[in-house]
Amino acid sequence: MADQAVSKSQAAASTAAPDAVVVRFAGDSGDGMQLTGGQFTLSTALAGNDLSTFPDFPAEIRAPQGTLFGVSAFQINFGSTAIETAGDAPDVLVAMNPAALKTNLAAVKPGGLVIIDTGEFTKRNLEKAKYDVSPLDDGSLAKWDVLAFDISAQTIEAVKPFGLGNKDALRCKNMWTLGLALWMFDRPRAPIHAWLKQKFAKSPDLADANIAALDAGHAYGETAELSGPLRQVHVDAVPTAPGLYRTITGAEAVALGLVAGARLLRLPLFFGGYPITPASAILHHLARLKEFNVTTFQAEDEIAAICSAIGASYAGQLGVTSSSGPGIALKGEAMGLAIMTELPLVIVNSQRGGPSTGLPTKTEQSDLYQAVYGRNGDAPMPVIAARSPTDVFECAIEACRIAVQYMTPVMLLTDGYIANAAEPWKVPDPDVFERMPAEFLDQPNGPDGTLLPYKRDERGARPWIKPGTPGLMHRIGGIEKAVDTGHIDYSPGNHQAMTDARQNKVLDIDVRNQDVSLGNTSGRLAVVGWGSTYGPIHQAVRRARARGMDVSHIHVRHIWPLPANLGGLLRGFEKVLVPEMNTGQFKTVLRDQYLVDAQPLTKTSGQPFQIAELEAAIATFFDGVPGDAGGDEVPPNEQQLPSLKAVNP
Amino acid sequence: MNDMTPIVTTLKDWETDQEVRWCPGCGDYAILKAVQRTLPQLGADPAKTVFISGIGCSSRFPYYIESYGFHTIHGRAPAVATGVKLANPELDVWLVTGDGDGLSIGGNHLMHVLRRNVNMQIMLFNNEIYGLTKGQASPTSREGTRSPSTPYGSVDHPARPAAFALGSGARFVGRGFDVSKHLPDVLKAAHAHQGAAFIEIFQNCVVYNKDVFEDFAQPKGAEDRQLWLEHGEPMLFAGGTKGITLDRQALRLAVVDVVDGDWQAADVIVHDVTNRSIAHMLVEMPFGAFPMALGVLYDDPRPTFEAAVAEEREKASAGKEPNLARLLATGQTWTVGDNAADPVSSRPPGQGAPNADDPR
């Protein structure tokens, strides 16, 4: 559990290895914290721990140095048991400047360890961080174990032999810090040495300087252990199924899932995209996979991106487009075209905080209405939501399958958290997935050799007809189509029939039945989640159940159409709680579809749910219910609670 | 266009069974006939021909051509067509748009399809008005145009489609008008051009902007008001009595009288379709002081977008096996063994798959 601190008191009280540790690296956006976090993640994976990460960086590329809004942070939760969130409160905070300390300190567990680079605590930097008095001097850090020393000076000293300028020398600070972190958690340096040599292959001096900084940080740990609050902690490897593993981010998993999906369908993949945070990484990954018959097209705007994908699907490839909320809004009309012309299309939405430009680098789940309802006319479209970076892979394959088998656009929802977060992934064997080769019509399908472009199969799907096929010339478009023939037809009966056909086709999509992630299939409380809230909900439910509460976790992948058994499943519970990083959108869908009294638990701070928040909300359903020990297993985290709005039953 | 085996068809083969829904007397009828007359002459194959349009009167065009057709959404046809050409470069794509569809809501896409040079014929029907929405001023309407949305006359400056196209990087710019007998020749030249070929077709909207092009399009006096350009030929009009010359001091075109057919003496320019500088002057040549420049104003091909994309894909794929299992296992990997005593072995970077990303 993440509530085991590496603090002096606990380490002294127990020599047992903690189950899990949460570490947050925070610094200026130019300090390379994401790189430090990324490399620490790899070393953690190699040590056999389970892990989850949360990169949290500003929207500005190079925000003015030392400012509060320029702070970039990377949090990792790792342990010897299953890890499903990036952790609530950090056990360890590394703060590279006053701004990083100020913006991150409140989250640190009381008694946790705070490592501070005093070299950056200049009068100017303190002013930029809006500190009147240095927190190092005013006793405000008394709640925590503090290890404050001049990391900048240590780094400059360590890289002196390589003759770097002061500025370049200080850029090695993140490696110095990483070295210290590697020592703290008993990790080998060799893989990082190898990575640095590879990264700086063209400038061996820089490689050597960074390695020297890393080693110096590591050596510092050994020395500091003798005199300060620092303790070396060993977190055991998690018992894991045998096999080949790697770390993967959600964005990588989308790219790989799309490539796998297209191959299972035996289709070339066409990806039309336009740069937008946090979705661009998908375009970047796919752009390098041309040998898999992938064409990537960076269009002039979001609308052109989706329209080019529609054009590619029309011509017989698997068209895919991707964006985040604002871009998805622009694509809305074209989605309607794909629905009307009944062409396959996958639309990936990496959600971020909104409305408008909103919070480009922060996560939110507030595009659910947009995904399910956000188009003109009755425009039904399947929606699939991935729950974690590794889950995205399978969801992307599922999106490709539905798009082609049902001749429909499909929206795949991820979010900024999933896109950027990394977790270990047991590399799947591509052969275990069902092959589902796409079929194209190659001869007339109507009576007397006529062509019926809108004749439906048993799934309600129309045939896919590639231009270039002799004898099957026909016209499609966004105007209402006549049943079967696809000719322009505005007549009342026809529009009714076609609206029904489009609606029923999507509602009848074969999606697998809803399972219960944790707990029983009926009982007092079901916590129903979707998307990236999976981890914190799962852990919160696990803890609540350990305290005797009759609560189950249901996590919905198929947002539209909903699994056929979901309504019955929900009716088996006395209460239904729906935690979401929005103002209650899925709750509305569930109420509408099933008339269940789904209660919202909402959070729109741009940060993922914490386990403790959810646990506290679950506990309110068990006030006075026997079995609620109300114990001290998890201290609630006051700092995160104000944004929490639970509607009590 | 694309190189393909000529197919024998007749005008009738290119007609659909759909009732044509344009207003009686609309210039679109003449353009439709001109296209249907031209396609057999090109040896075009209906199965490999795709007409793609946006929204507006002109964009109904695909419904009336017996080929593949895609009537898309307002302004976006160039983007759809780009996807079609990237997915299947073998298809012969004709884009149909109008002054509102192509230059207003879809101006951005038109610009990019031209500068990318996606191989297709782009027919912009310019009638200087919004027809299908009942007569509002369009981006090509002349200043002072009175319409339901501009009851006191429009005050914004009109766009010039051919100048827009050339400025966007078009490598072919042609001009014609609906009832002109030369229109098929312009279409043929556009089809022969490898790359994005832009054709501005002046089209008479008989309901909302009737006879707005009569000043140069009416048969009477056409000779004096139309300059039909031909590669390698002097720029002569008015029965050869007038020509276009370059004022080398002012660096602008000028009309000169040609005496006794001696155009060389009058220093009349010989049209060179590859001369981009002259093309810029021709598309900006103001009607009135000058005749209307028609025909092929500019034609200088360069490699197409879809060919470049295909070439890049081939180069990037060369020697790489599309092994999905290997791709999934890219990056820094580790193996968890069955032996609990030695649970983890790692493969440090550099020894992993060759295209391992920097793990940031």
Q: What is the pLDDT of residues A550-564, one digit of tens each?
A: 999 999 999 999 999
DSSP designation for B350: T
Whether residues A307 and B83 touch (CB distance < 8 A) is answered with yes
Instruction: Evaluate if residue B352 carries a pLDDT over 80.
Output: no
> Range with the lowest mean pLDDT among A135-139, A585-589, A627-631, B260-264?
A627-631
Instruction: Evaluate if residue B133 carries a pLDDT over 70.
Output: yes
- pLDDT digits 0-9 by tens, B292-338: 999 999 999 999 999 999 999 999 999 999 999 999 998 778 888 76
- pLDDT digits 0-9 by tens, B30-39: 999 999 999 9
Residues of chain B with pLDDT > 90: what percent? 89
Whether residues B348 and A190 touch (CB distance < 8 A) is answered with yes
Whether residues B309 and A295 touch (CB distance < 8 A) is answered with yes
Q: Which of A39, A334, A427 sits opposite B76 (nearest CB)?
A: A334
pLDDT of residue A1: 35
Lookup: tokens for A189: 């340096």
Q: Which of A41, A199, A260 sits opposite B358 (nearest CB)?
A: A199
Helix spans in A406-533 (H): 416-420, 492-507
In chain A, whose CA is at the least distance from the CA of B71?
A477
User: A-B interface: how many C-beta pairs under 8 angstroms?
Assistant: 235
Per-window interface: B 154-213 vs A, CB < 8 A? none
- The count of other CB atoms within 10 Å of the CB of residue B218 is 12
Find chain B residues with C-beta within 8 A of A293's C-beta.
322
Residues of chain A with pLDDT > 90: what percent? 81
**pTM of this prediction?**
0.90
- pLDDT digits 0-9 by tens, A467-518: 999 999 999 999 999 999 999 999 999 999 999 999 999 999 999 999 999 9
pLDDT band at A649 (very low <50, low <70, confident <90, very high): very low
Q: What is the C-alpha to C-alpha distance for residues A303 and A58, in angstroms, rounded to an integer?
A: 27
Report CA torsion sign: B311, B317, B322, B328: negative
In chain A, whose CA is at the least distance from the CA of B328?
A427
C-alpha separations of A289 from A118, A267, B312 in Å: 45, 15, 12
Whether residues A467 and B324 touch (CB distance < 8 A) is answered with no
C-alpha separations of B245 from B175, B242, B290 in Å: 20, 10, 11
Edge-to-edge strands, sheet with A345-351: A294-298, A269-273, A318-323, A345-351, A409-415, A383-385, A558-560
Edge-to-edge strands, sheet with B292-299: A475-477, B68-71, B49-53, B92-98, B120-126, B196-202, B172-177, B292-299, B226-229
Find chain A residues with C-beta within 8 A of B76's C-beta.
303-304, 307, 334
Q: Which of B66, B70, B83 sits opposite A477 (nearest CB)?
A: B70
Q: Which of A288, A311, A478 sits opposite B71 (nearest CB)?
A: A478
In chain B, whose CA is at the least distance from the CA of A238?
B343
- The nearest CA of chain B is from the CA of A238 a distance in Å of 9
Classify A194 in phi/psi space as left (phi over 0), alpha (psi -120 to 50) or beta: alpha
Average of per-residue pLDDT across B77-82: 98
* Matching residue, tokens 């340096």: A189
Average of per-residue pLDDT across A623-642: 42
Q: What is the mean pLDDT of chain A?
A: 91
In chain A, whose CA is at the least distance from the CA of B321?
A291
Average of per-residue pLDDT across A300-317: 98
Mutation to test the B interface, candidates A174, A235, A266, A314, most B Cβ within 10 Å? A314
Q: What is the C-alpha to C-alpha distance for residues A136 and A98, in angstroms, rounded to an integer?
A: 10
pLDDT of residue B351: 34
- The count of other CB atoms within 10 Å of the CB of residue A16 is 9
- The count of other CB atoms within 10 Å of the CB of residue A631 is 10
Answer whether the bond into residue A278 is a cis peptide, omega within 30°: yes
- pLDDT digits 0-9 by tens, A288-304: 999 999 999 999 999 99
Whether residues A315 and B112 touch (CB distance < 8 A) is answered with no
Q: What is the mean pLDDT of chain B?
A: 93
* Matching residue, tokens 């002081």: B289
Higher pLDDT, A238 or B263: B263
Q: Are strands A551-556 and A523-530 parallel, antiparallel or unpaired?
A: parallel
Give the DSSP H or E segment for A41: helix A33-46
Q: Which of B63, B322, B334 sits opposite A245 (nearest CB)?
A: B334
Q: What is the C-alpha to C-alpha distance for residues A442 and B348, in angstroms, rounded to an integer?
A: 50
CB B271 within 8 A of CB B232: yes
* A158 backbone dihedrals φ, ψ, rounded to 5°: -65, -35
